[in-house]
Amino acid sequence: MLAVYFDCPGGPENLYVKEVMKPHPGEGEVLVKVSASALNRADLLQRRGKYPPPKGASEILGLEAAGIVTGFGPGCEGRWKIGDAVMALLSGGGQAEYVTVPEGYLMPSPNDMTFIQAAAIPEAWLTAFQLLHFVGKIQEGETVLIHAGASGVGIAAIQLVRLAKAIPIVTAGTQEKLKAAANLGAAAGFNYKTEDFSEKVLAFTQGSGVDIILDCVGGSYWEKNLSCLSTGGRWIIYGLLSGGEVHGDLFARLLSKRGSIHTSLLRSREKEASNDYQQSFTESVLPYFSGGTCPHLQPLVDSVYPLHKIAEAHRFMEENKNIGKIVIKMPL
């Protein structure tokens, strides 16, 4: 089969498509013929040598995939049949023509949805879901500040906050991205490049601040995050795009707010915990992707790249221009 590969860590130019052995499903695993995968920041970090896959996971890039069930390993319980349209969150291996997935990790691809659209769901939506519900314990009526509001996780979080009957507000770096977030349900949006988002958030909340912050930026935002965090608020860090160093009296400021910091990385979660998130997501959220539901959830695909243009896809993501997901399409 064909798969994305790199021989040594570095820039996008190190990526190429290589012919490798097709995987064989092991105990309790299903073989999926991949139609589409999607790109994530974790792929860029892994390519740079800064985010190795978990022990025992595929070295091939790709944390999500959508495609067709084509085979089974021993011990499968019959949840799926040959030809089923499925999608999955993976620990690796998605940017290849075939991938093996534990039977319980597969989710049905939503009705009336293409594989391109379905591939944009697993990582971003499961991440946003577990951050909001399992980590943040979101409650009806709360206000949630979502940084990188036009990213895959951001776009999922906006819609999931609305589904929870709470209020999403976002930051982004362009008016185009803020407009896209508003179209998907953001109650307010602030351009972090041209305005002080903490002042805008406090004005929007009439001085009370936000109950939850979803933060993938890290170090450079800490003071502004604390300024607009409500008393007793939850600050959830799931990425460090600006680095992890903090210079200043973070703990005193946090203590004065009686706030809490939570951290989470979905990829490194124990399998049992990840499976809990997925089952809950499948039961409570996945039905809203099907046509005719209200509210109707939708992934947002920014662009589609063929497998052999994987380096171009990485460059595009590094330029931070995408609104929504970048999807990788497998050869026919």
CATH of 2-123+267-329, one of 3.40.50.880, 3.40.50.11900, 3.40.190.10, 3.90.180.10: 3.90.180.10
b/e per residue 235-262 (b: at least 16 CB within 10 A): bbbbbbbeeeeeeeeeeebbeebebebb
Please, which pLDDT band fits residue 103 given cuts at 50, 70 and 90?
very high
Backbone φ and ψ for 42, nearest 5 degrees, come out as -60, -35
DSSP E strand stretches across 153-308: 167-172, 188-191, 210-215, 229-237, 260-263, 301-306
Statement: 136-263 belongs to CATH 3.40.50.720: yes
Q: What is the pTM of this model?
A: 0.92
Separation CA 80–CA 31 (nearest Å):
11
Number of helices (H), then strands (E), in the chain:
10, 15
Backbone φ and ψ for 194, nearest 5 degrees, come out as -120, -10
The enclosing H or E element of 58 equals: none
Mean pLDDT taken over the chain? 92
User: Between helices 271-284 and 122-129, what is the axis angle to 10°?
Assistant: 90
Report the length, in residues, of the chain: 332
Q: Give pLDDT tens digits for 237-289.
A: 998 766 667 777 777 788 888 888 988 876 655 455 567 888 899 999 999 99
- Say whether the peptide bond before residue 108 is cis (omega within 30 degrees of 0): no
Domain locations along the chain: 2-123+267-329, 136-263
Integer CA distances (angstroms), 272 to 92, 102, 105, 276, 277, in order: 17, 12, 10, 6, 9
- % residues pLDDT > 70 (the chain): 96
136 near 234, Cβ under 8 Å? yes
